[in-house]
Amino acid sequence: MKYYHNDHHKLWQWEDDARLVDDMLDADVVFLWNDFVYAETVRMLQSLNKKVIVFEHGYGALTEHESGKKPTLADGYMTFGEASRDSLIRAGVDSRKILVTGNPVFDKVPEKTKKTGKGLYVALHWVRDIAEYNNRAMTYISNCYPQYEWTIKLSDKTGYSQLHHDKWITKVENQESFEQIKEKIVDYDIVLTPKAGTFDMFAKLAGIPVYVIDEAKSYRQQGEPDAYTPGDSNYMELQEDIPEYKKQDLDYEVKVPSLTLDEILEWVTGLVR
């Protein structure tokens, strides 16, 4: 079976092999990071009797079908874990068209073994520049919890930070950054974020407490998406004492170890439109 993949955020982490083709029109199956964004392309490929599979390109990305009432057009969906699968089922997708695959990017995350006294604020990137929001949050966090040496994690989508705190800057499209994240995340004793996402999943898998600090989603303005991720739990109000961490069911959120490409292609073969 020949396949093509349209990578996004470098989250197609399965090793390429001789079955990979450069042109989607030469493929038997096309892996896309989204279906409703590429609705015309999906329908064109299906009219040519090609199967279209959407792979989860970021933690919680597939929940948008449910929360945003987006159409489900693909022949199949690959999810990080059962949480995203359940969201797709609630959105109307037949469970037989969903495969919980995990992703190789989450395999072999090192375990945190020692305390460092360091904390990490994972700044939010949103549908607009919210640098002011992130700067305000980081200032508030460092004032509330001075027992930690704070670093702010930024990306090329976050917006510039004028704060004097240490900065950890990652580029979303840099594939090498995932291995750097795995290596570096264990430096931190605690992670705070306004909204759970792909990055802090590495911290969870390493055994580091992750708290969501904006349950009210105050970063949203009228008309902006009310997107959620399955990991939006372990909420913490700023200024309160840091609560005892409730370990989350990571098996429900992300499958580790991930399925192999051969297992995925075997499943694709059995899909019936």
Contacts of 178 (CB under 8 A, 6+ apart): 10, 13, 105
CA-to-CA distance for 264 and 79, rounded, in angstroms?
11
Contacts of 67 (CB under 8 A, 6+ apart): 87, 225, 226, 227, 228
Does residue 234 contact residue 253 with C-beta atoms inside 8 Å? no
The amino acid at 213: I
Q: Which two tokens stand for residue 114?
A: 């020692």
Say what the pTM is. Answer: 0.92
Write down the pLDDT at residue 177. Answer: 85
Write down the pLDDT at residue 249. Answer: 85
Q: Which two tokens stand for residue 170?
A: 């990652």
List Cα–Cα distances, 100 to 138, 162, 190, in angstroms: 35, 41, 29
List Cα–Cα distances, 109 to 55, 117, 121, 129, 208, in angstroms: 21, 21, 20, 31, 12
Q: Which two tokens stand for residue 143?
A: 């004032």
Within 10 Å of residue 107's Cβ, how many Cβ atoms?
15
Write down the pLDDT at residue 161. Answer: 72
Write down the pLDDT at residue 229. Answer: 83
Residues in the chain: 273
Write down the pLDDT at residue 265. Answer: 98
CA-to-CA distance for 135 and 169, rounded, in angstroms?
15
- Three-state SS for 256? coil
CA-to-CA distance for 78 and 55, rounded, in angstroms?
5
Within 10 Å of residue 54's Cβ, how many Cβ atoms?
26
- Three-state SS for 154? strand
Q: Which fold has domain 118-249?
A: Rossmann fold (3.40.50)
Distance of CA 7 to the CA centre of its chain: 14
Write down the pLDDT at residue 226. Answer: 82
Roughly what angle, to the nearest 10 degrees, separates helices 198-206 and 177-184?
A: 40
Write down the pLDDT at residue 175. Answer: 61
CA-to-CA distance for 209 and 207, rounded, in angstroms?
7
Domain ranges of the chain: 3-105+256-269, 118-249
Does residue 10 contact residue 176 with C-beta atoms inside 8 Å? no
The parts of the chain modelled with pLDDT lower than 50 are: none
Closest CA to 204 of 112, 123, 116, 113: 112
